Amino acid sequence: MKKRILFLCTGNAARSQMAEALARANHGDVVDVVSAGSRPAGFVHPQAIRAMADLGVDIRDAESKSAERFINEKFDAVVTVCDSAAQDCPVWPGARRLEHWSIDDPSSGGYPAFVATRDDLARRIAELVASLED
């Protein structure tokens, strides 16, 4: 049975969107994954779309979603990928495990920051998925 993961950030425009796409692309055989924002931006950042496209992962049709949509669902892991989301969502009722990854917003760093964030997320996600399989 697949493990369920929810990635949360504030706007659900970059970090959590890339995390969702990476987890699905690299570990979709063992995880069911979604992402959301505590205060959704209403769009996915174009540089996040570009960074994922460089890996052959298309998130052009991804949508910025509210965390409220998933509040009553059960997850094996809920991961906040930014400090403000951790403050907005310090607990998650249906989470077996809650993790916080303090990842800087790549928006102010240009495209290279999105690539670095994407690669950092890929590494962290691989470790998370391995730990969930135990």
Which positions are catalytic? 9, 82, 89
Both tokens of residue 51?
């960074």
Rounded to whole angstroms, how far apart are CA atoms 25 and 20?
9
Beta bridge partners of 4: 32
